[in-house]
Amino acid sequence: MGTALVYHEDMTAARLLWDDPECEIECPERLTTALERLQQRGLEQRCLRLAAREASEAELGLVHSPEYVALLQGTQALGTGELQTLSGQYDAVYFHPSTFHCARLAAGAALQLVDAVLAGAVRNGLALVRPPGHHSQRAAANGFCVFNNVAIAAKHAQRQHGLHRILIVDWDVHHGQGIQYIFEDDPRASTDAPWPQVGMGNADYVAAFLHVLLPVAFEFNPELVLVSAGFDSAIGDPEGQMQATPECFAHLTQLLQMLAGGRVCAVLEGGYHLESLSQSVCMMVQALLGDPAPPLSGPMVPHASALESIESVRVAQAPHWMSLQQQGQRGLGRDGASGSHAVAVTLNHPLGVAPVLSPSPRSPEGRPSPLLLPGGPEFKAAATQDVAALSSLLDQLRLNPTPPVRTAVALTAPDAALALPSDVLCEEGSAPQEETQAWARPHEALAQDRALTALGKVLYLLDRILDGQVSSGIAVTPASAAAATLDVAIRCGLSHGAQRLLCLAVGQLDRPPDLTDDGYDSQVMCMSGSASRRNLWLNIGGKEAAALSMFHVSVPLPGTTGGFLSCVLALVLPLAYSFQPDLVLVALGPAHGLRDPQAALLAALLRGPAGGRVLVLVDEESTPQLAVVLARVLHGEAAPSLGPFSMASPEEVQALMQLRGQLEPRWKMLQVATEAGGPGSG
């Protein structure tokens, strides 16, 4: 299954017919520029292209009143003056004789995408549409939005496909109050993480995903994920003044693909800086196609105000979600989970404080803002800096092309029975014998021919990952040589170009005794003269939770689904994103104890922090199916379900809290709250 791109050129027909500086940014070029960029990058050609259809009146009626639909239908016959008068009755909206047709196509595109995904024709997709929809209410247009495309798609999925659990994620910079109002009768339907200020960046968005959205989402266990994909939250956009870079949206999309078997349907909402919008759309489509996300740029340190928002949301939602509860608290848990639910999670400005970023005295929601004033020196300086930063980022992205081979597998012996994806490479190459023997010489466990042969394949695959020929890989090693092979892989990685190497060892694998935080040479210095801290060792399966140093962490393997997810989302990934490795080694040693879906989820999630450069070493005593599952997720497919959610045990919660308390001073992505005057930047 592939990725759908739903579009229709008729959606470019509607445009502003009079002078209105507030509305002029919602223009046809938003679609044409994004589509041109997808074509230039070869991404459109890799998608299944679907021509959008018009939504029927009955489909529009799933959300909107018949009177409102009839009113909009009548705009087709109105003159310019009448259209301007009618537009003035709504906040930040303009009508055109083609608006009704365009808006029906936009809603129909979302419906068509949902139908294609739920029918199994594609795995995921993007509906490239305008006008946007998430502000639109039952009987009112608002904020450039006419019909609520995502809400209609959610209702359609419930009614026509019988879905019971739909997750709606809205990362547009403006609050999607239309979706909120439509689903407000569901007490579990909204989880808002409003940003209290402009300038939020990659670390803030990823932190909100790790500490709020994903814990709730995994517990909710959606059957479908709908994304209100607004890119006015991207750097350079005149409406948002945020600092999220285009590659951030690849990471957020990749994280959402861990849910619902990868069934993700994204629908374009806002985004008004044409270059930032088009690059962000490309990043999202790359992630939907399964390509590795480029590494995130900038320091991964959330703002203090972002942490305050995250903390307040967790406290407010804890009674409804076991995954957010502290030890000893009781909540609603699954008691309210029966029936059909559409949970909406939004990351944006709260109502009433969206910044005014156009000459109009109102935001697109029609409310005044006390923040930056348009035309002022602070606003102009910030806008200039954002554009310059965006240009620099785009240059960096061009230097990180997708490797020609996405995933390679090196087996100790070829196995024709393994059902690997057709474009996963079965690697037959091996490092030169002399080189392999030199690396193996200190280890008795590598003296046997089988172990030496396996090591040669590991070294060859590792070199191909480091030189950009392969994105990720899997290598099978003899159980007796697992620890020695890992030791050599770490040494080789650090000596062959990896500047920061994250090693996640699962099972009976001890940290090599001479491995320091700086690698194997404690004299390695960074340019400032201080130790460069090149290696982060994390062991899952240790006897007790312990942080022997900020770069040497051990935690027992949790026995519950909730405990495992908390370990991954609240410890492993925050550490990985804080460390920003350029290579991840995952070693599944003897008696690692992970079920195949758990191992697959770990590997899939760790693609993000390292830009896809992940090498998994698998003990050959593991099931052959494990190598297949790992190959699929590293290739961009969805991880298998973990099964029913079970709450973390008190012991698991305590161990995690203990480690977080020790590690938070160094690794800021672990934080979910901030004390007054404490860490984080304002």
d(CA 609, CA 578) in angstroms, rounded, equals 9
Q: Which residues contact 95 (CB under 8 A, 6 or more apart)?
A: 72, 75, 78, 83, 86, 87
Type of residue numbered 349 = H
Q: What 3-state DSSP class applies to 386?
A: helix
Token pair 């944006």 is found at: 348
Instruction: Find the radius of gyration of the CA atoms of the chain.
Output: 25
Q: What 3-state DSSP class applies to 45?
A: helix
Instruction: Compute the Cα dihedral for 619, 624, 630, 631 and give only its sign.
Output: positive
d(CA 520, CA 528) in angstroms, rounded, equals 20
What's phi and psi for 540, nearest 5 deg?
-105, 120
Query: How open is the CA angle 604-609-562, to the nearest 5 degrees?
Result: 50
Instruction: Answer yes or no: 135 catalytic.
Output: yes
Q: Which residues contact 425 (CB under 8 A, 6 or more apart)?
A: 405, 407, 408, 409, 470
CA 485 to chain centre: 32
* Tokens describing residue 253: 């999309």
Which secondary structure element, helix H or strand E, spans residue 662, and what is its range? helix 650-663
Q: Which residues contact 378 (CB under 8 A, 6 or more apart)?
A: 372
Which secondary structure element, helix H or strand E, spans residue 528, and what is its range? none
Q: How many beta carbons lie within 10 A of that of residue 597, not counting itself?
A: 17
Which secondary structure element, helix H or strand E, spans residue 246, and what is its range? helix 246-256
* Adjacent-strand bridge partners of 426: 409
- Provide the greatest CA pair distance for the chain: 86
Query: How open is the CA angle 670-676-679, to the nearest 5 degrees?
Result: 35
**Could you tell me whether strands 546-549 and 552-555 are parallel, antiparallel, or unpaired per DSSP bridges?**
antiparallel
d(CA 50, CA 38) in angstroms, rounded, equals 15
CB 555 within 8 A of CB 540: yes
Catalytic residue (one of 135, 156, 273, 341): 135
Q: Which residues does the annotation mark as catalytic?
A: 135
